[in-house]
Chain A
Amino acid sequence: MATLNIEIDGRALQVESGDTIMDAANQAGITIPHFCYHKKLSIAANCRMCLVQVEKAPKPLPACATPVTDGMKVYTRSEYAINAQKSVMEFLLINHPLDCPICDQGGECTLQDLAVGYGGSSSRYQEIKRVVRDKNLGPLIATDMTRCIHCSRCVRFGQEIAGVMELGMPGRGEHTEVMPFLESQVASELSGNVIDLCPVGALTSKPFRYTARSWELSRRPSISPHDSLGSNLEVHVKDNKVMRVLPRENEDVNECWLADRDRFSYEGLNTAERLTQPMVKYNGQWMETTWQAALEFVADKLKTIPAEQIGALSTPYRPAEELFLLQKLMRGMGSGNVDHRLRQSDFSLDDKAHGGFWLGMPVTYMSRLNRMLVVGANLRKDHPLMAHRIRESVRWYGELNLINAHEDEFLGKVHAKRIVAPSQLASTLAGVCRALAELKALPVPDIAAHGVADDTARKMADSLSGGETRAVFLGNMAQHHPSYSQIHALAQEVSRLAGASFGVLGEAANSVGAVAVGAIPGCGALGQPALKGLNAQQMLAQPLRAYLLLSVEAELDTHDPVAAIASINAAEFVVMMSPYKGKSLDYADVLLPIAPWTETSGTFVNTEGRVQSFSAVVKPLGETRPAWKVLRVLGNLLGLAGFEHNDSKEVLRDALGDTPLGSVQAFLDNEVSGVKVEPPSPGEGLERVAEVPIYQTDAVVRRSPSLQMTLDASLPVARMNSRLIAKLGLQENGRVSVRQTASALTLKVQRDDFLPDNCVRVPSGHPLTAGLGPMFGPITAEPV
Chain B
Amino acid sequence: MSLLKPTPQVCSWTQALDHSASLATYVANGGYQALRRVVTEQVSGDAIIAELKTSALRGRGGAGFPTGLKWSFMPRAFPGDKYIVCNSDEGEPGTFKDRDILRHNPHQLIEGMAIAGYVLGARVGYNYIHGEIFEIYDIFERALKEAREAGYLGDNLFGTDFCFQLHAHHGYGAYICGEETALLESIEGKKGQPRFKPPFPASFGLYGKPTTINNTETLASVPWIVQHGGQAFLELGKPNNGGPKLFSVSGHVNKPGNYEVPLGTPFAELLELAGGVRNGHKLKAVIPGGSSAPVLPAEVMMDCTMDFDCIAKAGSMLGSGAVIVMDETVCMVRALERLSYFYFEESCGQCTPCREGTGWMYRVIHRIEHGQGRPEDMELLNSVAGRIGGHTICALGDAAAMPVQSFLKHFGREFEYHIEQKRCMV
Contact = CB atoms under 8 A, between A and B. Distances in A.
A92 B346 CA distance: 19
Interface string A175-198: 110000000000000000000000
Contact of A173 (B353, B355, B374, B393): B355
Given A87-B387, A87-B391, A174 B363 contact: no
A127 B364 contact: yes
Contact of B353 (A88, A169, A176): A88
A59 B198 CA distance: 14
Tell me which of A45, A87, A150, A171 has the highest count of chain B C-beta atoms within 10 A of its own C-beta: A87
Tell me which of B364, B388, B391 has the highest count of chain A C-beta atoms within 10 A of its own C-beta: B391
B358 interface: yes
Contacts of A59: 390-391
B352 A48 contact: yes
B353 A62 contact: no
Given A59-B391, A84-B391, A87-B387, A173 B352 contact: no
Interface residues of A, number: 37
A59 B398 CA distance: 12
Contact of A127 (B360, B387, B393): B360
A91 B344 contact: no
Interface in A65-89: 65-67, 84, 87-88
B290 interface: no
B202 interface: no
A94 B174 contact: no
B421 interface: no
Interface in B180-214: 191, 196, 198
Contacts of A149: 352
Interface in B329-386: 344-353, 355-360, 363-364, 367, 374, 380, 383
Given A48-B391, A150-B352, A173 B357 contact: no
A172 B357 contact: no
B265 interface: no
Contacts of A62: 196
A401 B213 CA distance: 39
A89 to B, nearest CB: 9
Given A87-B387, A173-B345, A173-B347, A48 B363 contact: no
A90 interface: yes
A651 B305 CA distance: 90
B392 interface: yes
A43 interface: yes
Contacts of A47: 351-352
A173 B380 contact: no
Contacts of B383: 124
A16 B336 CA distance: 48
Interface in A139-158: 149-150, 152
Contacts of B392: 48
A60 interface: yes
Tell me which of A84, A90, A169 has the highest count of chain B C-beta atoms within 10 A of its own C-beta: A90
Nearest to A59: B390
Contacts of A175: 349
Nearest to A95: B356
B347 A91 contact: no
A174 B196 contact: no
B387 A91 contact: yes
Tell me which of B349, B351, B356, B391 has the highest count of chain A C-beta atoms within 10 A of its own C-beta: B356
Nearest to A66: B198
A58 B383 CA distance: 19
B353 A45 contact: no
Contacts of A67: 198
B391 A176 contact: no
Interface residues of B, number: 32
Instruction: Classify the secondary structure of B's interface with A.
Output: helix
A125 interface: yes
B387 A46 contact: no
B81 to A, nearest CB: 16
Nearest to A130: B359
Given A45-B196, A94-B356, A171 B387 contact: no
Given A88-B352, A91-B352, A173 B359 contact: yes
Nearest to B379: A124
Nearest to A61: B196
Contacts of A627: none
A44 B393 CA distance: 10
Contact of A176 (B349, B364, B374): B349
Nearest to A84: B391
B80 to A, nearest CB: 14
A631 interface: no
A67 B198 CA distance: 8
A91 B353 contact: yes
A91 B392 CA distance: 12
A124 B196 CA distance: 29
B42 to A, nearest CB: 36
A84 B367 CA distance: 27
Contacts of B352: 46-49, 88, 91-92, 149-150
A94 B353 CA distance: 11
Nearest to B392: A48
B351 A45 contact: yes
Contacts of B345: 173
Contact of A46 (B191, B388, B393): B393
A665 to B, nearest CB: 41
Given A51-B391, A87-B391, A127-B363, A173 B346 contact: yes
Nearest to B192: A172
Nearest to B390: A59
Contact of B380 (A124, A171, A176): A124
Contacts of A95: 356
Given A125-B360, A127-B364, A174-B359, A46 B391 contact: no
Contacts of A65: 196
A48 B350 CA distance: 10
Contacts of A46: 350-352, 393
A87 B353 contact: yes
Tell me which of B198, B352, B353, B393 has the highest count of chain A C-beta atoms within 10 A of its own C-beta: B352
A173 B349 contact: yes
A124 B388 CA distance: 15
Nearest to A87: B387
A47 B349 CA distance: 11
Interface in B146-172: none
Nearest to A177: B349
A80 to B, nearest CB: 11
Contact of B355 (A51, A126, A176): A176
Contacts of B391: 48, 51, 59-60, 84, 87-88
A127 B359 CA distance: 10
A90 B360 CA distance: 11
Contacts of B355: 91, 150, 173-174, 176
Contacts of A45: 196, 351, 393
Tell me which of A62, A88, A149 has the highest count of chain B C-beta atoms within 10 A of its own C-beta: A88
Contact of A60 (B346, B359, B360, B390): B390
A94 B360 contact: yes
A288 B367 CA distance: 75
A519 B180 CA distance: 64
Contacts of A49: 352
Interface of B: 174, 191, 196, 198, 344-353, 355-360, 363-364, 367, 374, 380, 383, 387-388, 390-393
Which A-B residue pairs are the 9 nearest by beta carbons?
Answer: A87-B387, A176-B349, A59-B390, A91-B356, A45-B196, A173-B347, A173-B349, A127-B363, A46-B351
27 contacts: A44-B350, A46-B350, A46-B351, A46-B352, A47-B351, A47-B352, A48-B351, A48-B352, A48-B392, A48-B393, A59-B391, A84-B391, A87-B388, A88-B391, A91-B353, A91-B356, A91-B357, A91-B360, A94-B356, A124-B383, A169-B349, A172-B347, A172-B348, A173-B346, A173-B359, A174-B358, A176-B349
Given A47-B351, A172-B349, 10 more contacts: A65-B196, A84-B390, A84-B391, A90-B387, A91-B353, A91-B387, A150-B355, A169-B349, A172-B174, A174-B359
